[in-house]
Structure 1
Amino acid sequence: MANVRGRGKVGDVVMIDLGNESFGYGRVLLEPTMAFYDLRSREMVAAREVVKAPVLFTIWVLNKAIKSEKWEVIGNLPLEDHLKAEPKFFKQDMLSKKFFIYDDVKNIPATREDCIGLERASVWEANHVEDRLRDHFDDVPNKWVESMKLPEA
């Protein structure tokens, strides 16, 4: 597996302490990307079982997140093909209000409609990821997601 600067290895499965005696799970992809699973547990779940769960979201995460005391590497598994592809994110120029899709290393001009279903290009802190997972499992809106939503037409 390829080393990932300062945050483990590609394929590492992490268990994230969400408080209230529950855990969420993520996976290290190509830097700085991580996938997070639609799985919450009260006890540690084996890495092989974690990766069978659906991916909830894929975002950029700060390297230091995996070193958080609340994030523990519980295994390493080769990435499935669908996790090897670089995800696309949307951006919006704050002055011109024009949209772009960030694809690997370039910005591609886009319409608002092209951006529907994409995450906003942003690098997340560990505590914000934890909030997002906790809010998802509690079925409440997440303030970080809400603040970065695609604006209404």
Structure 2
Amino acid sequence: MIQREIIKIPIANSAYAYGVNLDNTLFTVIDIYSSFKGIPVPEILKNKILLTNAVHMDIGKKDYSWISLGKYDVPTDLLKLPTFYMQDTITKTNFHLVKPPLYDQMLKAAKNECIGLERMVVMSPDHLVDRLNNHFFGKKMKWPESLPFWVDSK
């Protein structure tokens, strides 16, 4: 196990989502949320990964109120770096895979190779909270068309 910072993210309905700060830019969000009282960190770490994305925390110097719960030993399955995909926003037909650990190479890919992968984006904290509110509470996302996070299999 490796120590990483565990974060608590305020979301809708006076609830919190939880994540692991992988490197101050890349965050893994765990598939669990709680009421205002919270959940003990060992219980949080027993759950699976919901998503991993880069988050730009300095956008407009806004206070996003993410709360550090401190550093904890994190199971290796929660530290796994995913493969992302990129899609040409003009043609919509060209796809690439972007693989860890450095995410510095793009490999040409077919659309079907990207299904189920997260899009390589740098989100604002607002985008991430919007996704979490959609996932946990079914709230409509503000940016579903302009920021598709996954490839439609159709």
Tell me, yes or no, if the aligned pair for 2:5 and 2:68 is still in contact at 8 Å: yes
The yes-or-no answer on 1:29 pairing with 2:10 is no
Query: Displacement, 1:142?
Result: 3.1
Counterpart-to-counterpart distance in 2, 1:115 and 1:143? 24
Partner of 2:76: 81
Tell me, yes or no, if the aligned pair for 1:29 and 1:83 is still in contact at 8 Å: no
Counterpart-to-counterpart distance in 2, 1:60 and 1:29? 10
Structure with a larger share of its residues in helix: 1
1:87-98 equivalences under 5 Å are 87-96=82-91, 97-98=93-94
Partner of 2:7: 14
Tell me, yes or no, if the aligned pair for 2:112 and 2:153 is still in contact at 8 Å: no
TM-score (norm 1): 0.80
Counterpart-to-counterpart distance in 2, 1:54 and 1:110? 27
TM-score (norm 2): 0.79
User: Identity across aligned pairs (percent)?
Assistant: 26
C-alpha RMSD over aligned residues: 2.5
Say which SS state the counterpart of residue 42 (structure 2) adopts: helix
* Unaligned ranges ≥5, structure 1: 3-9
Structure 1 residues 45 and 55 mapped into 2: Cα distance closer, same or farther (>3 Å)?
same
Partner of 1:56: 50
Query: Displacement, 1:13?
Result: 0.8
Query: Displacement, 1:126?
Result: 0.8
1:91-106 equivalences under 5 Å are 91-96=86-91, 97-103=93-99, 104-106=103-105
